[in-house]
Amino acid sequence: FTNNSWYYSDMELEDSKYCNNGDLLYAWSASFGPKIWDGDKTIFHYHIWKIDFDSQIFYRDYLYWFLLQDVTIIKKSTTGSTMVHVSMVNMRPRLIPIPPVEEQKRIVAKIEELLPYVEKYDKAYTEVEELNKRFPNDMQKSILQYAIQGKLVEQREEEGTAEELYQQIQEEKKVLVKEGKAKKPKKLMRITEDEIPYDIPENWKWIRLGDIFEINPRNTVNDDTTVSFIPMTLIEDGYRSEFSYETKSWGEVKKGYTHFREGDIVMAKITPCFQNLKSAIMLNLENGVGAGTTELHVLRAYNDICLEFFLWFIKSPTFVSTCVSKMTGTAGQQRVGTDTITNYVAPLPPLEEQRRIVLKIEEMLPHCRQLIK
């Protein structure tokens, strides 16, 4: 084993020159480090040690992981210029912590449990660093922009198409309207080519937000019901979905305030709260119902779509900048209108892809924050 490659020979040698399946080997030059041999009986290179050990003292895989993490330190003990190597003289004195064998096994089990997550986050961190090189001041914005353009995760044919999801939403909308659980919406204009801001994958679909959400609905609740009350100050800004609330009776807040309920998306509509990304998914509300500041828009899904995807969408730079350009009102009191939200042209991915996009965003954003620090 040299230079990351394995070489084989048909020569007949003494038994000590062979390794068997499961043997622990160690390359001591060029490519340093341990290897558990997975194969038939094989001659090994003279730049490799076969490590024999007492199984009553060591669990093989524990020894492997120790030697693997020790490589960086070992390299500091290397000698030679043409062929850098570590000598047996430097290797023999290495100190190894020895827990009981059963604990060694539990340590290895925990390593193998965590390793996929380490690899996953390492990959995400690398991807974030690449974005940082391209967008050094706007990593979080660029991740969201990639997400809503279908560039953050791959498309999978088995997940179906957004058109199928859209038709399902329309059927469920009809049922809700017929049952009196949603207000009959106005028919929205067909989307024109001029309204499409960027390319999206073929299995996605352009829709208007009013096609899949009821915008600013009202609640019907008994006056003595205790509900959540949320002024603007209790909605956190930035790339998160956090809020707190006060408790009031529905009779106190049913008039003169914005209505929402469990699972609704709320977003500030007034400057500068809108630009500061004050928006959240309403979860764990008192009795599942709430009211709050009049400076909110509410999006209530007609079916079980991935709310987190659309929360990230309304925090994306394209959505924010487009809505800001359409604000009306006097300086310091400008607002995003209901019509702007209802008619906003948005991308709709297949449902499973929405979920995978959300997982990817939530995997990458913490690394953005770390790099920013």
Which tens digits make up the pLDDT trace of 298-318? Answer: 999 999 899 999 999 999 999
Nearby residues of 289 by Cβ (< 8 Å), 6 or more positions away: 219, 221, 225, 227, 228, 250, 260, 261, 262
Which residues are CB-neighbours of 343 under 8 A, at least 6 positions away?
188, 189, 208, 209, 210
Report all structural domains of the chain as residue ranges with CATH numbers, in order of start. 15-98 (3.90.220.20), 160-357 (3.90.220.20)
Measured CA to CA, the distance from residue 33 to residue 43 in angstroms comes to 18
pLDDT of residue 129: 66
Report the alpha-carbon distance of residue 230 to residue 79 in Å, rounded: 67
Whether residue 227 contacts residue 291, with contact meaning beta carbons closer than 8 Å, is answered with yes
Structure-token pair, residue 309: 């995807």
Instruction: For the chain, give the percent of residues with pLDDT over 90.
Output: 58
Quote the CA–CA distance of 359 and 365 in Å, as a whole number: 10
Unique residue bearing structure tokens 């009986």: 41
pTM recorded for the entire structure:
0.65
pLDDT of residue 125: 67
Write out pLDDT tens, residues 146-201: 899 999 899 999 999 999 999 999 999 999 999 999 999 889 999 999 999 999 99
- Structure token pair of residue 109: 């089990």
Nearest to 306 by CA among 154, 126, 169, 142: 169
SS3 2: strand
Cα 94 to Cα 32: distance, rounded to the nearest angstrom: 15
What pLDDT sits at residue 31?
A: 66
User: Could you say which residues of the chain have pLDDT below 70?
Assistant: 1-11, 13, 30-31, 43, 45-46, 72-85, 121, 124-125, 127-138, 367-373
Give the pLDDT of residue 363.
84
The CA-CA-CA angle for residues 364, 125, 154, to 5°, reads: 60
